[in-house]
């Protein structure tokens, strides 16, 4: 379990994250949603130690994450940020092998190779493992990065807008994979999402942020309803049930 | 591009280099230690070969590390102000201490090379428009600013000729006792190889490195220190060799990718092959005289560089 307690972050005098407390439950997909500038990515960066918080603490199980050694932390929590310009020429296999870096420091053992092979297999990348990242489509590249995180074998997988720049087909593919990570491999996934419908269909819990604060937090059913959405987005959003999925029809709403 | 082919090429070129020159030396002469031929061989030819090998490895590996850490294919000691800062350092050591000792020159030039490269990396951090061509242009402008400061003070202090000597990469002056500083690059290359994986990870960006538990700042600073040290030793013994740190890592990257643990040996050996070939050409063209290495490398290197540019805008992004 990850517990965020009284976390704040200031850029200049402005609080981007303002006294946020949140609990991330294990074995579930938790989505961070909210309008632009709500502080979703900043919060995720602090939970994953990419950014230092100004006040408050983040507990991993019972330990303050600042007290955990960095290679130890890398074996328990992984983070994928949007990687817009990736000009490094690595093959998929090389990238996935770097997922084992926290364990082997680059000299791969037999066990490491097993993890790498499994991760490639799991993401259906075995056939193209020797292709270079810069030759791949956006969806393939995102899959390669997720394969790396699988090889990293952390209990917690944090992703910052993993659907950015992906078309519908690949977005669905990625979300299904994340669901599988939770259901089959028992991982805990935390995602920052822009598209509220992907959050609705695929997540177990939703944390809604606005102006650096947690404005709503709960199971998907508790958040995906017109009353709660009005609070979060200042929009009247009808919610319709379709094939067991709750879909927010926000395209022509009044604000 | 197989490693053993490169190694065989390096060995063949080394043999040619040893027995090429104004004095005809045959392997038989070497058995007689007191012959003039043997003396030339041990005092001039072997040191020259050793200097070419060390400088070739050093400059290409330095370029490789810089390209990885700056995440830009066209950044190298000659396009990021490193060498210009080192030159400024030597000048200042000469201005501060009349007849500065070799050690003082080394220390000053190292510190300036390090600081100069660090400043460039800071500039890089602040630039939002990270175009593959734009960044090295800024590096070259920055280097020229440093260089003009050097020239101004050198002119005031009547040291301009000394500056010109460092500008001109030249192996013909290398004899026993004048190149040994280059051996400093041997431990540096070993460290670079041990850290190859960390440089690759750091080259994927700070967030990526932190995710894998790599101390990004430490790796970055270590890399810059290694680059500054190599650049200083080459500058003080051989002079500036343009393009080497730029084209050799790029050629290897096209064929072998950017995984430093895999490409570092290739880069090092190809650097030796390239520099040896250029040196031999320079010694043949107007035999028995010779053309300085920075001219031959400059001509051949700029041709290859242009090819990389035309071919590579897509690849280098």
> How many domains does chain A fold into?
1
Q: How far is B259 from chain A (nearest CA, A)?
A: 6
For residue A91, give its domain range.
2-248
- Out of A72, A83, A90, whose CB is closest to B257? A90
A162, two tokens: 């993993």
* Predicted confidence (pLDDT) per residue in A180-190, tens digit: 999 999 999 99
The rounded distance, in Å, linking the Cα atoms of B188 and B202 is 18
- Residue extents of the structural domains in chain B: 3-312
Contact at 8 Å (CB) between A25 and A37? no
> Given pLDDT bands bounded at 50, 70 and 90, which one contains residue B13?
very high
Residues 202-231 of A with CB under 8 A from B: none
Q: B264 near B192, Cβ under 8 Å?
A: yes
Q: What is the per-residue pLDDT across B71-106, written as a single tens digit (0 to 9) for each?
A: 888 899 988 999 999 999 988 988 888 776 888 888
Percent of residues, chain B, with pLDDT higher than 70:
97
- Give the CA angle between residues B74, B80, B83 to the nearest 5°: 125
User: Residue B317: pLDDT above 50?
Assistant: no
CATH number of the domain that residue A6 is part of:
3.40.50.300
Q: What is the pLDDT of residue B310?
A: 81
CATH superfamily of B3-312: ABC transporter involved in vitamin B12 uptake, BtuC (1.10.3470.10)
In terms of pTM, does the model score above 0.80?
yes
Cβ distance A88 to B132 less than 8 Å, yes or no, reads no
Q: Which residues of B touch A94 (CB under 8 A)?
A: 257, 259, 262
- Across the interface, whether the CB atoms of B213 and A102 are under 8 A apart is answered yes
Q: What's the length of chain A?
A: 255
Query: Is B213 in contact with A90 (Cβ distance < 8 A)?
Result: no
Q: Quick check: B211 and A74 CB within 8 A? A: yes
Residues 6+ apart with CB under 8 A from A34: A40, A208, A209, A210, A215, A232
Cross-chain residue pair A94–B215, CB shorter than 8 Å: no
pLDDT value of position B39: 86
HEC-encoded secondary structure of chain A = CEEEEEEEEEECCEEEEEEEEEEECCCCEEEEECCCCCCHHHHHHHHCCCCCCCEEEEEECCEEHHHCCHHHHHHHEEEECCCCCCCCCCEHHHHHHHCCHHHHCCCCCHHHHHHHHHHHHHCCCHHHCCCEHHHCCHHHHHHHHHHHHHHHCCCEEEEECCCCCCCHHHHHHHHHHHHHHHHCCCCEEEEECCCHHHHHHHCCEEEEEECCEEEEEEEHHHHCCHHHHHHHHCCCCCEEEECCEEEECCCCCCC
Quick one: pLDDT at residue B166?
66
Find tokens 């997988």 and name the residue: A157
How far lies B259's CA from each of A120, A184, B7, B190, in Å? 19, 32, 20, 17
Is the confidence metric ipTM above 0.95 for this complex?
no
Query: Which sign does the torsion angle of CA B216, B219, B222, B226 carry?
Result: negative
User: What tens digit of pLDDT does each residue of B222-236 get?
Assistant: 999 999 999 999 998
CA dihedral B58, B60, B63, B64 (to 10 degrees): -110
For residue A68, list chain B residues with Cβ-Cβ distance below 8 A.
none
**Interchain proximity B257–A94, CB inside 8 Å:** yes
Q: Is B255 on the interface with A (CB under 8 A)?
A: no
A254, part of any domain: no
Q: Does B316 touch chain A (CB under 8 A)?
A: yes
Spatial CA neighbour of B110 closest among B262, B231, B220: B231
State how far the Cα of B40 lies from the Cα of B43, in Å rounded to an integer: 5
Domain assignment of residue A253, yes or no: no
What pLDDT, on the 0 to 100 scale, is given for residue B29?
Answer: 78
Q: Which residues contact B41 (CB under 8 A, 6 or more apart)?
A: B18, B25, B29, B30
Q: Which chain B residue lies closest to A135 (C-alpha atoms)?
A: B315
Q: Which helix (H) or strand (E) holds B195?
A: none
The pLDDT of residue B22 = 78
CB B224 within 8 A of CB B32: no
pLDDT of B314 over the 60 cut: no
Contact assignment for A71 to B213 by CB distance below 8 Å: yes
Q: Does B197 touch chain A (CB under 8 A)?
A: yes
Cβ-based contacts of B317 with chain A (< 8 Å): 85, 87
State pLDDT tens for residues A125-184. 999 999 999 888 888 999 999 999 999 999 999 999 999 888 999 999 999 999 999 999
């Amino acid at each position: 379990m990850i517990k965020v307690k009284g976390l704040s972050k200031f850029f200049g005098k402005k609080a981007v994250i303002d006294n946020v407390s949140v609990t991330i439950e294990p074995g579930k997909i938790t989505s961070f949603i909210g309008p632009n500038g709500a502080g979703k990515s900043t919060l995720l960066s602090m939970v994953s130690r990419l950014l230092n918080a100004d006040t408050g603490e983040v507990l991993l199980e019972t330990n303050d994450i600042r007290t955990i050694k960095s290679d130890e932390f890398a074996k328990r929590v992984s983070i994928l940020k949007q990687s817009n310009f990736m000009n490094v020429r690595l093959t998929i296999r090389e990238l996935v092998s770097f997922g084992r870096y926290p364990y082997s420091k680059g000299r791969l053992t037999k066990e490491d190779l097993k993890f790498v092979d499994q991760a490639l297999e799991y993401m259906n990348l075995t056939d193209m493992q020797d292709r270079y990242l810069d030759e791949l489509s956006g969806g393939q590249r995102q899959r390669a990065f997720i394969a790396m995180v699988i090889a990293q074998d952390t209990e917690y997988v944090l992703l910052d807008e993993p659907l950015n720049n992906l078309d519908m087909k690949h977005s669905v593919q990625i979300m299904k994979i994340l669901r599988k990570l939770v259901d089959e491999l028992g991982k805990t996934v935390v995602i920052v999402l822009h598209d509220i419908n992907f959050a609705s269909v695929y997540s177990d819990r939703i944390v809604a942020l606005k102006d650096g604060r947690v404005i709503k937090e709960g199971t998907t059913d508790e958040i995906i309803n017109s009353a709660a959405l009005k609070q979060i987005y200042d929009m009247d959003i009808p919610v319709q049930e379709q094939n067991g999925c709750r879909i927010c029809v926000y395209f022509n709403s009044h604000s | 591009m197989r490693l053993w082919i490169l190694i065989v090429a390096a060995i063949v070129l080394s043999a040619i280099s040893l027995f090429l020159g104004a004095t005809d030396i045959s392997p038989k002469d070497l058995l007689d230690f007191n012959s003039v031929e043997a003396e030339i061989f041990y005092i001039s030819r072997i040191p020259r070969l050793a200097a070419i090998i060390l400088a070739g490895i050093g400059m290409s590996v330095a370029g490789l590390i810089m390209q990885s850490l700056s995440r830009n294919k066209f950044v190298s000691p000659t396009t990021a102000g490193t060498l210009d800062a080192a030159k400024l350092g030597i000048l200042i050591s000469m201005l501060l201490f009349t007849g500065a000792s070799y050690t003082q020159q080394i220390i000053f030039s190292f510190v300036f090379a390090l600081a100069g490269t660090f400043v460039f990396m800071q500039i890089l951090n602040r630039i939002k428009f990270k175009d593959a061509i734009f960044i090295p242009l800024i590096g070259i402008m920055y280097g020229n600013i440093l260089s003009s400061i050097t020239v101004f003070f050198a002119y005031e202090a009547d040291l301009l000729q000394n500056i010109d000597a460092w500008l001109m990469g030249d192996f013909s002056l290398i004899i026993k006792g004048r190149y040994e500083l280059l051996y400093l690059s041997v431990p540096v290359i070993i460290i670079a190889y041990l850290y190859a994986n960390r440089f690759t990870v750091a080259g994927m960006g700070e967030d990526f490195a932190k995710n894998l538990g790599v101390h990004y700042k430490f790796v970055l600073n270590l890399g810059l220190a290694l680059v500054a040290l190599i650049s200083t030793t080459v500058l003080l013994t051989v002079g500036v060799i343009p393009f080497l740190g730029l084209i050799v890592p790029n050629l290897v990257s096209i064929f072998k990718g950017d995984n430093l643990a895999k490409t570092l040996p290739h880069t090092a050996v190809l650097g030796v092959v390239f520099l040896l070939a250029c040196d031999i050409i320079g010694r043949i063209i107007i035999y028995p005289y010779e053309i300085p290495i920075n001219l031959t490398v400059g001509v051949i290197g700029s041709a290859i560089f242009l090819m990389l540019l035309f071919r590579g805008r897509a690849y280098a992004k």
